[in-house]
């Protein structure tokens, strides 16, 4: 009997998720609802208690909803440094039938957000207009200046976020590939066609045989047909993702080309076919995807490629300058 008591006590001590009533069927069906539940649990208003470990795990899951939507329970458990059984127990304590039911909430929310991304962003912008015009900020700064200042602060936050998770190995690997590949093609559509053009122009300043994948408008298939295994294709798209860019990335990888992705989260369809994937956030009050952090990242990547090329990049820039002078392109 004493042994059984000790075993029961030890189990209770090790179960950091703590006990909770059976709430199956009452669980939130949205990520926002889950966030509200976490707040109510913290205030002891939910009729549900979580131990410290479970509460921390849930908070961390809500910080990365895109990853929760697409990663396996094993991958998530490894990333959080817990057992997969911890996620299963947490799901049932919250009222879900299991982890798959819990994960479906994140998948549904992600799909809903992607369907209405632009209107959602614009609604936030319009909703904030009244507050900006009525409330002086920053010691009397005008509402017009504050709009720009807010976007600048948000871009700084995005930069700080991607810097914190940059992989030195991925940076070195990508720079070496972009410097040494026989041919480099860059692909991005809609808003990210601008980023693709910027990256293509920068690479073209310091090495040869760089172009947009579909520069002549003949189609992605024609562009890929000009490449060989060992060539590099850089793709860029963020939520809501452009389907054809994701399909081009898969086709390039299957044809033996090396894919480098510049995207937003691990949930991106550009990540699986990529050898190196760089995740840059775009959270902001801009009515579309914020580009500031992406441009800064690309400038850094271009500098790394130039450094890797060494004298060859200097020679390429010098040759370009001679041609610019000969053609009288610049004034002043």
Per-domain residue ranges of the chain? 2-113, 168-327
β-pair partners for 258: 232
Half-sphere exposure of 191 (CA within 13 A, CB side): 17
Domain 2-113 has CATH 3.40.1350.10: no
pLDDT band at 22 (very low <50, low <70, confident <90, very high): very low
- What number of residues does the chain have? 332
CATH of domain 168-327: 3.40.50.10490
pLDDT at 210 > cutoff 50: yes
Encode pLDDT of 170-179 as tens digits: 999 999 999 9
Q: How far apart are CA 238 and CA 231, in angstroms?
A: 23
Q: Minimum mean pLDDT among 21-30, 199-208, 260-269, 295-304: which range?
A: 21-30
pTM: 0.66
- Looking at every residue in the chain, the average pLDDT score rounds to 83
β-pair partners for 261: 235, 277
Could you tell me which of 94, 86, 81, 88 has the C-alpha nearest to residue 49? Answer: 94
**297-326 in b/e burial notation, b at 16+ Cβ within 10 A?**
bbeebbebbbebbeeebeebeeeeeeeeee
Q: Minimum mean pLDDT among 21-30, 41-50, 196-205: which range?
A: 21-30
Q: How far apart are CA 153 and CA 148, in angstroms?
A: 9
Encode pLDDT of 85-129 as tens digits: 999 999 999 999 999 999 988 887 776 665 555 565 455 555 555
Rounded to 5°, angle at Cα 321 from 316 and 326: 125
pLDDT at 245: 95
pLDDT at 288: 74
pLDDT at 208 > cutoff 80: yes
């Amino acid at each position: 009997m004493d042994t059984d008591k000790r075993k029961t006590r030890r189990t209770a001590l090790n179960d950091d998720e703590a006990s909770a009533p059976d709430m199956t069927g009452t669980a939130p069906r949205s990520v926002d609802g889950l966030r509200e539940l976490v707040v109510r649990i913290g205030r002891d208003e939910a009729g549900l208690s979580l131990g410290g470990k479970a509460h921390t795990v849930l908070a961390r899951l809500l910080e990365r909803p895109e990853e929760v939507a697409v990663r396996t329970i094993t991958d998530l458990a490894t990333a959080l440094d817990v057992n997969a059984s911890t996620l299963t127990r947490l799901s049932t304590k919250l009222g879900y039938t299991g982890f798959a039911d819990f994960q479906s909430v994140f998948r549904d929310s992600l799909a809903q957000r992607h369907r209405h991304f632009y209107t959602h962003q614009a609604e936030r912008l319009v909703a904030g207009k009244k507050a900006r015009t009525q409330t002086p900020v920053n010691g009397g700064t005008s509402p017009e200046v504050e709009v720009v200042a807010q976007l600048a602060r948000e871009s700084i936050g995005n930069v700080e976020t991607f810097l914190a998770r940059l992989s030195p190995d991925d940076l070195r690997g990508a720079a070496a590939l972009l410097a040494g590949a026989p041919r480099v093609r860059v692909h991005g559509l809609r808003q990210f066609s601008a980023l693709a053009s910027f990256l293509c122009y920068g690479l073209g300043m310091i090495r040869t045989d760089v172009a947009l994948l579909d520069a002549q408008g003949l189609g992605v298939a024609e562009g890929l047909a000009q490449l060989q295994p060992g060539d590099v294709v850089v793709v860029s798209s963020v939520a809501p993702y452009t389907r054809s860019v994701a399909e081009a990335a898969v086709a390039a990888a299957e044809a033996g080309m090396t894919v480098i992705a510049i995207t937003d989260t691990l949930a991106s369809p550009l990540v699986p076919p990529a050898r190196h994937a760089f995740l840059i956030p775009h959270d902001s009050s801009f009515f579309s995807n914020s580009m500031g952090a992406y441009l800064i990242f690309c400038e850094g990547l271009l500098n790394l490629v130039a450094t890797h090329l060494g004298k060859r990049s200097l020679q390429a820039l010098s040759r370009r300058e001679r041609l610019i002078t000969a053609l009288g392109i610049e004034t002043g």
